[in-house]
Amino acid sequence: MARSPRDDTTPANAKPGNGGELHQTASSPEARIATNHGVPVGDNQNSLKAGRRGPTLLEDFVLREKIQHFDHERIPERIVHARGSAAHGYFELTESLAEFSRAKVLTEVGVKTELFTRFSTVAGGAGSVDTPRDVRGFAVKFYTKEGNWDLVGNNIPVFFIQDAIKFPDLIHAVKMEADRGYPQAASAHDTFWDFIGLMPESTHMIMWAMSDRTIPRSLRMIEGFGVNTFRLLNDKDEPTLVKFHWRPKLGTQSTCWDEAVKIAGADPDYHRRDLYEAIDKGDFPEWEFGVQLLSQAEADALPFDILDATKLIPEELVPIRVIGRMVLNRNPDNFFAETEQVAFLPTNMPPGIDVSEDPLLQGRLFSYQDTQLSRLGTVNFHQLPINKAKGCPFQNLQRDGQMQTQVFKGRANYEPNSLSEAGEDGGPREDPVDGFRTAAVPVEEHKVRLRSETFADHYSHARLFFRSQSKSEQAHLASALVFELSKVTLEHVRNQVMSNLVNVDETLAQRVADGLAMPLPKASKPAVPTVDLEPSPALRIIGKYPETLKGRSVGILVSDGADGAIVAAVKAAVEGEGGTVKIVAPKIGGVTLKGGKTLKADGQLAGTPSVIFDAVALVLSEPGCAALLKEGAAIDFAKHAFGHLKAIGYSAEAKPLLDKAGVEPDEGIVELDKAVDGFLAPARTRQWAREPGVRMLA
């Protein structure tokens, strides 16, 4: 049975529970948790399951009331994933999974299935900014021949909690604090880290959340994961366990933390604009679709439980099999009607795809439907064009309800009926052959509020993730923890988090303690011994994404009298590799180049800083440079590009501006007068070797 950690900060009235986290026992009847109808709650940590690894039971009124109340807390904005951006596109299967599934979308090679994909942040409201440190939602609605399939996941393969009954607590903790209404879209505050410190099962997710994955460069450059474990069923109803993956063709890329903060001020809609403009000009984002497949025996042989959503399957153990691709090729016609009204349901699955007993997924099967009823106000939300099933017949015997738009004929709204024998329309019937069938898996006999002992290891996968990162990524992760915990005002909360980090990696914990100028507390006691798993280089970002200008943006700062030939050469070279070029000038009207030609500007200097570009070039005249030496925005343009590890190309006349900005020579600083082509190589990536000289990291 899983036990919770204890350390010197554990409250005296707390005692270990069976869910791997702290059970805080009420000291009096007035202090105890009860349902909205006054029934005392005996266990607020675990949902009611058919056996420790069994499915969650519908009779769990504590779970249903808690999540249903949570689902209805906001109207009409989504409680989580409120800020979203989306696009239409298609899915094309390239390899059949007929051996494992009878779902046509997974068996008909070459067929293009229409889809709609929504990306989102988790913590902030609909009016928050695009670039905070946050998990990104990655939800895809496939309009298949056999009904809608909604694959609702994130850009991270694991989650904070193991059991859905803790989801309201997690989101309450990370959202704005209840008494003051801030911080918005930020996890760096007391209540979030208090919850995390007391929930060691969250430690693995915290490694991901503090990594570069949660400050992405673009929505076009994030991975997607189904997070939960699902099942596939073939024609013989033989089950296969599956994990779903999306891989961006542009590679997984991130920003720097300081850069993400500055982008939030420069362009709060940075990711939304980037996605829209890429599709608008025909640079259609594309992802590979892959699966990890396991038999039950293979899953049982793993040293962890794949029903635990805080665990991942390293691809070195089970390779990802690429079977298709997704292309986003059309922006929404109306943001509200489509992006805002789209309703994703994990229960939307065509025959041949099924769920597992993952207790997080089991709760989601209830919660999402209930949430849509609250947000969209009617049981008929499926009739909205963006949610309506396409390419397949749709009929049942459900009638009426608010906003009913279909006009049904006949009097049969029940089944079974014999009206067809009298020559009337008896309505649709069930289809035992081609209809949805559930995997026939055994369940345990006893109803319990417990978790399986196989869920008790909270640190081994966190250690695996951290030790799989490159040295730069480890430094970024440690620095993110220092930043977040520096915003925590309660010392005992910082200590609790650090005591958990010791179980992940003592050098990491010491780096964080040093960054906070605090002594390192002793390790919390893990429920089970932490084990060393083989590092997984596939979990890194740096060094993996393709070094290309495709999908990247270069800003050229120009002044009056600048050499137009250099500007044209840089523009041609970047666009020749699929990159985007924007001209930045002191004034939006543009500049007059050497020779008298006018060059229009795409952005004005003060409103178009270097943080929104992947690389920059400064093409100035001597008088133009002299004038910009007195302009803080121009100095920052160069200084921030250098500090954010970007390539900088410059004309000889721009050198004084670089000097004033503190730009020091390295391989990423290229004089364009000598070789424009020499600017392309460093512009394809970041200059990671520069980082130790420009930034103090933990």
| Active-site amino acid positions | 81, 154
Number of H helices, E strands in the chain: 18, 22
CA dihedral 639→642→646→652, nearest 10 degrees, is 80
Q: Are 658 and 672 in contact (CB under 8 A)?
A: no
Cα 287–Cα 291–Cα 296 angle in degrees, nearest 5: 165
Write the Ramachandran bin of 423: left for phi over 0, alpha for psi from -120 to 50, otherwise beta.
Answer: left
288: enclosing H helix or E strand: strand 286-294
d(CA 51, CA 559): 71
SS3 sequence of 419-479: HHHHCCCCCCCCCCCCCCCCCCCCCCCCEECCCCHHHCCCCHHHHHHHHHCCHHHHHHHHH
How many Cα atoms sit within 13 Å of 194 on the Cβ side? 16
Cα 554–Cα 556–Cα 557 angle in degrees, nearest 5: 140
How many other CB atoms sit within 10 Å of the CB of residue 697?
18
User: Which pairing describes strands 447-448 and 49-50: parallel, antiparallel, or unpaired?
Assistant: antiparallel
d(CA 554, CA 275): 16
State both tokens at 256.
Answer: 């720097």
Residue with tokens 């082509």: 677
- Write the DSSP string, 264-276: HHH-TTHHHHHHH
Q: Which residues on neighbouring strands pair with residue 554, listed in sequence order? A: 581, 615
